[in-house]
Structure 1
Amino acid sequence: MQKNIVGHRFMSYSLLNNHNKNKTMETTYFMIIDDDSDDRFFFNEVVINMPNSAECMEANGCEEAIDLLRTAEQLPHYIFLDINMPRLDGRECLRQLKRDASLKHIPVIMYSTSFSEETIKEFHILGASSYLNKPTDINNLSAQILEAVKDL
């Protein structure tokens, strides 16, 4: 199911397995902030096809994300944030998210093609909860996303 909300694609999908048909499934809300439309698309596809109820919002950059988050009826449980973006990069976006009283509680997972030890430390100091390397094979992305958020 695809809906347009404030010009952003919002996708949701629920998969109920046979063991949970009578249980109320709690929806997990994700957000991906990335200037690469292909990366956003693949992230969304993986999230909405997870074996539980999940929804994913996406934003093309930091400004769009902040605007969407300030008007969202449901805030995401987790934000995945690309580092290398034009205008406001991941560092500045993370700073803005963590300065906003209504958003600073949301765990932010840095999502990029590579991380150095120095970069990981820098983002931890800025308030990132975790980091995840963008995979070259999306078949592993679902497990990697779940691993990145399991202790948050």
Structure 2
Amino acid sequence: MGAGKTLLLVDDNEDDRFLARLALGRVASGLEIAEVADGRAALDWLRAAEDPPALVLLDLKMPRLDGAGVLGERRADARLRPIPVAVFTTSVSEEDVKRSYDLGASVYLPKPDSVDRLEEMLGDLMRVYLKHARPATP
């Protein structure tokens, strides 16, 4: 991946953040990973960032403000709206999938059950969003 790319990892589960960091380190060299543990902290980070991240990896089920809340506030903020958000969650509920897309998620990815599959999934995601995708401008 190119230098200077930042990904914001938003997940309240420390073990899931660790595994995601590990996998991302293997598939996206040069990627800077910023981490927060809830939706309110994610919005604070995004609003304070001088440069937006190339991608937000967002869990749905979190304290303070859940992923749907983050998506809703992002959609309402013209400065944040162009930032791609990959919902990355354990939920396979069709209701959660539909609601996430309705709120503007770029992609919905259920967390896989193996580290190998996690690496494969995040590698594919990084190739699309950090290497090939053309970002929107506010």
Question: Would the TM-score normalized by the shorter structure come out above 0.5?
Answer: yes
**Maintained 8 Å contact 1:115/1:133:** yes
Which of the residues 73, 80, 86 maps onto 1:103?
Answer: 80
Write 1 or 2 for the structure with the bigger share of helix: 2
Mark the runs of 5 or more structure 2 residues left unpaired by the alignment.
Answer: 134-138
Q: Secondary structure at the match of 1:57?
A: strand
% same residue: 35
The Cα RMSD (Å) is 2.0
Cα distance in 2 for partners of 1:51, 1:129 equals 19
Q: 1:51 Cα deviation (Å)?
A: 4.8
Cα distance in 1 for partners of 2:122, 2:31 equals 12
CA deviation vs aligned residue, 1:76-124 (integer Å, no higher than 9, x gap): 1111111111221111111112222211101111111132333212211
Which of the residues 68, 87, 94 maps onto 1:117?
Answer: 94
Instruction: Describe how 1:45-60 pairs up with structure 2 within 5 A.
Output: 45-60=22-37
2:118 pairs with 1:145? no
1:51 to 1:62, Cα distance in 2 relative to 1, 3 A: closer
Q: Secondary structure at the match of 1:31?
A: strand
Q: 1:26 Cα deviation (Å)?
A: 3.8
**Maintained 8 Å contact 2:36/2:42:** yes
Q: TM-score, normalised by structure 2?
A: 0.81
Number of corresponding residues: 129
Structure with greater Cα Rg: 1
1:59 to 1:51, Cα distance in 2 relative to 1, 3 A: closer
| Partner residue, 1:37 | 14
Cα distance in 1 for partners of 2:8, 2:105 equals 14
Write 1 or 2 for the structure with the bigger share of strand: 1
Q: TM-score, normalised by structure 1?
A: 0.74
Instruction: Describe how 1:54-133 pairs up with structure 2 within 5 A.
Output: 54-133=31-110
User: Following TM superposition, where does structure 1 have runs of at least 4 consecutive aligned residues deviating by more than 6 angstroms?
Assistant: none
Cα distance in 2 for partners of 1:106, 1:51 equals 19
Mark the runs of 5 or more structure 1 residues left unpaired by the alignment.
Answer: 1-13, 15-24
2:109 pairs with 1:135? no
| Partner residue, 1:22 | none
